[in-house]
Structure 1
Amino acid sequence: MSKLRVIAMTLSTLFLGACQSTPVVISEPVQQSEREVAMQAYSRGDYHTAEGILQRLAAAPVFDTQAICYLGAIHYRQHEYQAALQRFTECSQHYPEQSEVWFNAAATHLRLATELLLIGRSYQNEALQRSARGQHYQEFLQVLLDLQRHNQVSGAN
């Protein structure tokens, strides 16, 4: 009886192992459908749902390159600028001809630069703020803020 039990356990382990190692293939129509659901969630402002779906599409075995671009826009909207820049950079490798990709990466760089200047400003004393250097610092910060008011990140690649 114990030999039968060992054989049954071995076969079930092999069967379960084979099931886990078989890659899941998602057809293009299913990918498109999931991408549409993610974009509907994005449009409603439900970034967490959209991000979850897009993460699944961007990962192995699917590697949906459009999902990578959309994830960049989601990270940007969530003020996760380093993650957004990483996604937009990856997106630019897949779609270098798309001007929106470069625009989104540039807008992300502006946000990162602005954050740095805002953090740095909090360490300035009053004397430095009144100096010529402090005035240039403030003017540069203001230019970056003005640029951001005129530009929005595009959700599409």
Structure 2
Amino acid sequence: MKIVKLCVLAVLPSVVIGSGCAATEKTTFNTLEQQRAIASKSYQQGDLHVAEGYLQRIVSSLPKDSASWCKLGHINYRLNRYSAATNAYERCLSLTPELPEIWHNLAAVKLREATEFLLTGRAYIPELNEAGSASSFAVNYTRLLNELGRLHGVAGYSTEMISDD
């Protein structure tokens, strides 16, 4: 009986220590820093999906990590996922509103969305009315689209529908 008690006492500390490790197995500071490093390097190398995966892990562990939310916004913008970019940028700004470059990036997302909506809708605008000239709506629509193109920095962008006659 004494041998059984001694065996239990000898094994018990390792069971407690082992279960303690499993219960507290959260992402440690070192692994978060490693994940940040991998995400950053992947982003710089253009491997946006790998970077996104690591950043998602980081924000799951640290939902108030503003820098990771900002970087997720950049990734989603580059992948043309504007809704996700908006959400990430807004999350970043809710944590650190003093970042003018993120306000700028959020506005760029909105401009890109507006441009794509107008480009898609352009197919449904009759170019000429019955009198053979563009309607005032078509002219204004085209002007707006041209201005958005100019804001995007597209040189010589024109939809060639504007008539000032």
Give yes or no for TM over 0.5: yes
User: Any idea what SS the aligned residue of 1:79 has?
Assistant: coil
How many pairs does the alignment contain? 132
Give 2:26's aligned amino acid: V
1:143 and 2:143 equivalent?
no
Give 2:140's aligned amino acid: H
Which of 114, 127, 133 is matched with 2:137 structurally? Answer: 133
Larger RCO of the pair (alpha carbons < 8 Å, separation 6+)? 1
Q: Note the alpha carbon deviations across 1:74-102, whole angstroms, 9 max, x for none.
A: 00000001110111111101111111110
Distance 1:65 1:26 in 2: 18
5 Å-filtered alignment, 1:1-80, equals 19=22, 22=24, 24-27=26-29, 29-59=30-60, 61-63=61-63, 64-80=65-81
Superposition misfits of 4+ residues, deviation over 3 angstroms: none
Is contact 1:95–1:101 with CA below 8 Å preserved after alignment?
no
Distance 1:51 1:31, change over 3 A: same
Which one has the largest radius of gyration? Answer: 2
Is contact 1:26–1:62 with CA below 8 Å preserved after alignment?
no
Alpha-carbon RMSD? 2.3
Distance 2:115 2:72 in 1: 22
Give 1:135's aligned amino acid: V
Give 1:71's aligned amino acid: L
Q: Unaligned 5+ residue runs, structure 2?
A: 1-17, 155-165
Distance 1:95 1:62 in 2: 15
The TM-score normalised by the length of structure 1 is 0.75
The TM-score normalised by the length of structure 2 is 0.71
CA shift for structure 1 position 31: 2.4
Q: Percent identity?
A: 36
